[in-house]
Chain A
Amino acid sequence: MIRIPQSLYDQMIAHATQGFPLEVCGILGGTGGNVSVMQRMTNTDASHEHFTMDPREQFAVVKDLRAKGLTLLAIYHSHPETPARPSREDIRLALTPDVSHVIISLADRDKPAINSYKINDGNVRLETIEVIV
């Protein structure tokens, strides 16, 4: 399970909506499955069907989280046109160990959908998102 404050949950949706029709991406940090920070990242692909994070930004965010006593809990990205489930490419490129993969779907723009997954060695498991109000 991953716990996300309502405000950050809403900010992820806002990020995806503002970035539409391109994919957006970002990082969620926190401790013990409790998300406390969200960081928007640059999608260097600037694509509606791919995302790649900038390694310089990745290093900066990971170091910042560490300095705050937090860890990288999740990588999020949007699917502007497809459901909130990992694509084959998402699964193949889910390389960072022990993180959640949060996907925001805007396939129905009036009703964004968010799911979170654990992906290890190609095995995909849907996990519960608890939104903390």
Chain B
Amino acid sequence: MKITINGKDTLIGENPERTIGSLLEELEVPQRLYVTVEQNGDILDRAAYETAPVNEGDVIEFLYFMGGGR
């Protein structure tokens, strides 16, 4: 199926069990605890990553926490 990830059209295999969390795993995104995900314009709670399904045509953006301190 076709989804958009960070602005790029991406083809991934059909998998009705796929969630945002498992997608990040498939994409081998490191440090996933620090990743914020937006799905179709909505920022997801991190707790929802393992249950939010990925659907055909989804527009998914993810980025890392940006912060620091002295």
Contact = CB atoms under 8 A, between A and B. Distances in A.
Interface stretch (A2-10, A12-20, A76-84, A125-133): A76-84
Interface residues of B, number: 15
A49 B68 CA distance: 8
Interface in A19-64: 23, 25, 41, 45, 47, 49-53, 55-56, 58-59, 62-63
Contact of A81 (B34, B64, B70): B70
Nearest to B62: A59
A62 B61 contact: yes
Interface residues of A, number: 30
A11 interface: no
Contacts of A79: 70
Interface of A: 23, 25, 41, 45, 47, 49-53, 55-56, 58-59, 62-63, 66, 75, 77, 79, 81-82, 86-87, 89-90, 93-96
27 contacts: A25-B66, A50-B67, A51-B67, A51-B69, A52-B66, A52-B67, A53-B67, A55-B36, A55-B43, A55-B65, A59-B36, A59-B38, A59-B43, A63-B7, A77-B68, A82-B70, A87-B68, A87-B69, A87-B70, A89-B68, A89-B69, A93-B67, A93-B68, A93-B69, A95-B34, A96-B64, A96-B66
